[in-house]
């Protein structure tokens, strides 16, 4: 009988010790989790993470803006860079994320019509130019020169990227059918960056890219501007996605993009941040 009571007492002691161990572990876990939410400088850890779908051609200035933004705000930006049309198709499919910044307003308008945009605003403006091999050995001065026999031409794919779609309309505006360039079309890209890289590699004689992009390749090519009356000026807008669960944080990023810090970065990369010089245009609600 005494043996049975001793067994019960020992079991109760073991249970109490186990309970104390579990309590200690719980306290340690809470302290550890709290510590993980703190930075060495004492500031609270990041309380939001935004997913930004961004046109590949805009990557250099946007990456710099994001770096400056994250240094000021406890918000992390996760970027997905690709062609504007490719990104739009992805957004329609996954229906997640927070921000969409394609290479042309057209894509934000398409997203809006599909019910994917909660609010949008212009970020910058740009226009197509002809980027030719350094020294312009083919003597290209006009869009019609791209039709010359033996001229190796590269264009963006209208079904994949903003520059491709705009180029198609640009050619039509100047009386040139896309089919007319088929003989000379040696490369069709998914993003505008690939076109500049072809000039850098010496693989093509001429490509049509955005003016801001052409300046990145000044050491490898020459920029031929297209007269304003023959050209198409496009705006690139940013949209907050309708299904974003972080609307306030998303607007904080958009406001930063339009702030003096954001516009200074864009201007340094040769992006025009407004036809009228007004960089504080408010959000436009659909």
Q: Is residue 286 part of a domain?
A: no
CA distances from 19 to 14, 26, 251 (A): 9, 11, 48
pLDDT in tens, 154-201: 999 999 999 999 999 999 999 999 999 999 999 999 999 999 999 999
- Do residue 68 and residue 107 come from a single domain? yes
**132-138 contact pairs (CB < 8 A, 24+):** 132/199, 132/205, 132/206, 132/221, 132/222, 132/224, 133/199, 133/202, 133/204, 133/205, 133/206, 133/220, 133/221, 133/222, 134/219, 134/220, 134/221, 134/222, 135/222, 136/222, 136/224, 137/205, 138/205, 138/206
Does position 281 have pLDDT exceeding 70, yes or no?
A: no
How many domains in the chain? 2
Q: Which residue has the higher pLDDT, 232 or 11?
A: 232
The listed range with the strongest mean pLDDT (20-24, 42-46, 58-62) is 58-62
Residues 263 and 178 in one domain: no
Last residue of a domain, one of 207, 230, 253: 230
- pLDDT at res. 257: 96
Query: Per DSSP, what are the bridge partners of residue 185?
Result: 153
3-state SS record for the chain: CHHHHHHHHHHHHHHHHHHHHHHHHHHHHHHHHHHHCECCCCCECCCEEEEEEEEHHHHHHHHHHHHHHHHHCCEEEEEEEECHHHHHHHHHHHCCCCEEECCCHHHHHHHHHCCCEEEEEEEEEECEEEEEECCCCCCCCCHHHHHCCCCCEEEECCCCCHHHHHHHHHHHHCCCCHHHHCCCEEEEECCHHHHHHHHHHCCCCEEEEEHHHHHHHCCCEEEECCCHHHCCCEEEEEEEECCCCCHHHHHHHHHHHCCHHHHHHHHHCCCECCCCCCCCCCCECC
Confirm whether 10 is domain-assigned: no
- Asked whether residue 262 is assigned to any structural domain, the reply reads yes
Structural domain of 194: 128-230
Q: Pick the more confident residue, 45 or 74.
A: 74
- Domain finish residue from 179, 201, 230: 230
Whether residue 121 is contained in a domain is answered as: yes
CA atoms of 217 and 132, how far apart (whole Å):
10
pLDDT at 8 over 90: no
pLDDT digits (tens, 9 = 90+) for 56-93: 989 999 999 999 999 999 999 999 999 999 999 999 99
Query: 197 with 242, same domain?
Result: no
Flag whether pLDDT at 280 surpasses 70. Answer: no
Q: What pLDDT, on the 0 to 100 scale, is given for residue 219? A: 95
Do 240 and 120 reside in the same domain of the chain?
Answer: yes
Query: pLDDT digits over 97-136, tens only?
Result: 999 999 999 999 999 999 999 999 999 999 999 999 999 9
pLDDT digits (tens, 9 = 90+) for 208-257: 999 999 999 999 999 999 999 999 999 999 999 999 999 999 999 999 99
Residue 110 shares a structural domain with residue 240: yes
Are residues 139 and 200 both part of a single domain?
yes
Q: What is the mean pLDDT of the chain?
A: 84
Instruction: Choose between 19 and 47: higher pLDDT.
Output: 47
Note the pLDDT of residue 10: 53
For residue 75, give the CATH number of its domain. Answer: 3.40.190.10
Query: Would you say residue 2 lies in a domain?
Result: no
Is 28 part of a structural domain of the chain? no
277 falls within a domain: no
Residues forming beta bridges with residue 272, ordered by sequence position: 125
22 domain residue, yes or no: no
Quick one: 220 and 241 in the same domain? no
* Pair (174, 250) in one structural domain: no
Residues 252, 219 share a domain: no
For residues 160 and 67, membership in a common domain is answered with no
pTM: 0.75
Residue 17 has a pLDDT of 55
Percent of the chain's residues with pLDDT above 70: 79
Q: Using an 8 Å Cβ cutoff, are 96 and 243 in contact?
A: yes
pLDDT for res 21: 46
Regarding whether 215 and 95 lie in a shared domain, the answer is no
Looking at the predicted structure, is the pLDDT value of residue 272 above 70? yes
Q: Are residues 145 and 174 in the same domain?
A: yes
């Amino acid at each position: 009988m005494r043996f049975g009571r001793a067994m019960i007492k020992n079991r109760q002691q073991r249970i109490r010790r186990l309970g104390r161990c579990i309590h200690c572990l719980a306290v340690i876990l809470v302290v550890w989790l709290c510590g993980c939410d703190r930075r060495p400088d004492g500031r609270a850890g990041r309380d939001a993470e935004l997913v930004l779908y961004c046109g590949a051609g805009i990557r250099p200035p946007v990456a710099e803006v994001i770096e400056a933004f994250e240094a000021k705000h406890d918000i992390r930006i996760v970027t997905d860079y690709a062609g504007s049309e490719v990104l739009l198709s992805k957004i329609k499919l996954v229906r997640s994320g927070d921000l969409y910044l394609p290479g042309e307003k057209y894509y934000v308008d398409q997203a809006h019509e599909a019910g994917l945009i909660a609010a949008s605003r212009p970020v910058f403006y740009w226009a197509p130019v002809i980027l030719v091999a350094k020294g312009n050995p083919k003597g290209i001065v006009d869009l019609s020169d791209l039709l010359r026999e033996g001229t190796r031409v590269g264009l963006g794919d209208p079904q994949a990227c903003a520059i491709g779609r705009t180029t198609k309309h640009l050619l039509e505006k100047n009386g040139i059918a896309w089919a007319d360039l088929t003989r000379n079309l040696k490369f069709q890209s998914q993003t505008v960056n690939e076109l500049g890289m072809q000039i850098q590699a010496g693989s093509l004689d001429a490509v049509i890219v955005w003016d801001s992009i052409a300046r990145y390749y000044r050491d490898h090519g020459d920029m031929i501007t297209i007269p304003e009356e023959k050209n198409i000026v496009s705006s690139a807008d940013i949209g907050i996605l309708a299904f974003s669960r972080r609307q306030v944080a998303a607007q904080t990023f958009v406001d930063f993009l339009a702030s003096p810090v954001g516009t200074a970065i864009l201007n340094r990369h040769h992006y025009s941040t407004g036809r009228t010089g007004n960089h504080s245009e408010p959000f436009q609600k659909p």
